[in-house]
């Protein structure tokens, strides 16, 4: 199947599916074996080599969605990120990282790079000039994340890639918040695209996985590092992920719509100080987001400064106060206590992450029900505060 000529839902549903040649079932068969024949075969298969039947099939779907030549699936988003970074860096190299990134990536950089003699710089902002200001003679890689976690900043992907290519620097991007439904960075010049597939690809809060997509040449480097790090995924989870991805475009588009409605509602809520969502015309990078995204995503964040967060989360009845994101159910979390808890208060402040910030992942429920839940939770907290 030529995936370039197929619609996005068709790619999600059919590209990379395995044919059931025995019983002609409608879904891909699951091959659970960890041990395959080594003689008289074209491919010596082993799970840690990312080449079991289900792994290979899913990677075709992932590559097609990201407009890449190849892909690999890992045991978690951080397994994908750390393996990819270490595939292109070695002692003596320097890497430029965007200021606003996922807390786990930040923690990996500051705790692991020094062990390997790799130096790094964080940008002051997320414009191409901010990246240019941090480039050194030994810079080998630029790392981006857009929209970023948790403040939904938008980076000029094409601008940064043009800068990097002019200096022979590899570019890498975390595309998790956008998903390939809303953004395909390879079309804008990015070399390596990363995902926590735990999020929109899994989409049901029951799968932990990571993805790397790139050219065949770059993926060979990731493969050689990956087989040493051993961050492969079980075939049962691979099979579940392939099943979940069939509805990804439908889910993400519904979440895009809900996030836009909720961002507009929260912007008018007198209890909310600020709303961070690239779909809002008030967002400083709104026009840039329009130019490089097909949809603004299902993630937003907002500041609720005068309401006790502990009580607010406790009184939510529909929205779930949990750590992760991007499931079909709407969820909220405190970045200070979860995703960015490993960062110091000073470093969080540099990124603009306040204690009052709430990260909000929109699901597929009716927005009227979500609004009603938020309003009743705030009302209960206010009543309790007055009583106290």
Inter-CA distances, 341 with 172, 176, 275, 347, 376, Å: 24, 19, 21, 11, 28
| Cβ atoms of 219 and 193 closer than 8 Å | no
What CA–CA distance (Å, rounded) separates 76 from 87? 17
| Cβ atoms of 132 and 164 closer than 8 Å | no
Decide the pairing of beta strands 210-214 and 70-74. Answer: antiparallel
**Is 24 an annotated catalytic residue?**
no
Active-site choice (6, 36, 48, 273):
48
**Is 48 an annotated catalytic residue?**
yes
Active-site choice (61, 120, 143, 199):
199
Inter-CA distances, 73 with 62, 201, 242, Å: 9, 12, 11
Nearest to 98 by CA among 198, 180, 177, 181: 177
**Is 174 an annotated catalytic residue?**
yes
Active-site choice (45, 50, 61, 102):
102
DSSP single-letter state for residue 3 = G
Cis peptide before 12 (omega within 30 of 0): no
Active-site choice (174, 191, 235, 271):
174
**Is 102 an annotated catalytic residue?**
yes
Q: Which residues are catalytic?
A: 48, 102, 174, 199
């Amino acid at each position: 199947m030529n995936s370039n000529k197929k619609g996005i839902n068709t790619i999600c549903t059919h590209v990379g599916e395995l044919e059931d040649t025995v019983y002609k079932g409608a879904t891909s068969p699951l091959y659970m074996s960890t041990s395959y024949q080594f003689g008289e075969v074209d491919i010596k298969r082993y799970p840690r080599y990312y080449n079991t039947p289900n792994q290979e099939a899913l990677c075709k779907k992932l590559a097609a969605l990201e407009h890449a030549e190849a892909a690999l699936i890992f045991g978690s988003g951080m397994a994908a990120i750390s393996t990819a970074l270490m595939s292109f860096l070695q002692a003596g190299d320097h890497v430029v990282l965007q200021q606003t990134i996922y807390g786990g990536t930040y923690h990996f950089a500051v705790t692991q790079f020094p062990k390997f003699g790799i130096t790094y710089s964080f940008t002051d902002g997320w414009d191409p000039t901010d990246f240019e200001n941090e480039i050194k003679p030994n810079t080998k890689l630029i790392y981006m994340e857009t929209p970023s976690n948790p403040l939904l900043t938008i980076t000029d992907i094409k601008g940064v890639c043009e800068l990097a290519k002019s200096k022979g620097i590899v570019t890498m991007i975390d595309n998790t918040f956008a998903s390939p439904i809303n953004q395909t960075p390879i079309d804008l010049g990015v070399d390596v695209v990363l995902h926590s597939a735990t999020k929109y690809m899994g989409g049901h809060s029951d799968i932990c996985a990571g993805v790397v997509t790139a050219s065949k040449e770059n993926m060979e480097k990731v493969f050689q590092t990956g087989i040493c790090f051993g961050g492969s995924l079980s075939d049962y989870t691979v099979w579940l992920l392939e099943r979940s991805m069939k509805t990804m475009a439908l889910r993400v588009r519904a979440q895009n719509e809900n996030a836009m409605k909720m961002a507009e509602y929260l912007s008018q809520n007198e209890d909310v100080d600020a709303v961070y969502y690239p779909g809002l015309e008030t967002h400083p990078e709104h026009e840039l987001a329009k130019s490089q995204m097909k949809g603004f995503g299902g993630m937003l964040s907002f500041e609720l400064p005068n309401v006790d967060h502990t009580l607010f989360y406790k009184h939510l009845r529909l929205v779930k106060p949990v750590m992760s994101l991007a499931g079909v159910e709407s969820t909220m979390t405190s970045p200070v206590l979860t995703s960015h808890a490993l960062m110091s208060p000073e470093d969080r402040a540099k990124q603009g992450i306040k204690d009052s910030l709430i990260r909000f992942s929109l699901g597929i429920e009716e927005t009227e029900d979500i609004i009603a839940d938020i309003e009743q939770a705030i009302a209960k907290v206010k009543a309790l505060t007055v009583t106290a």
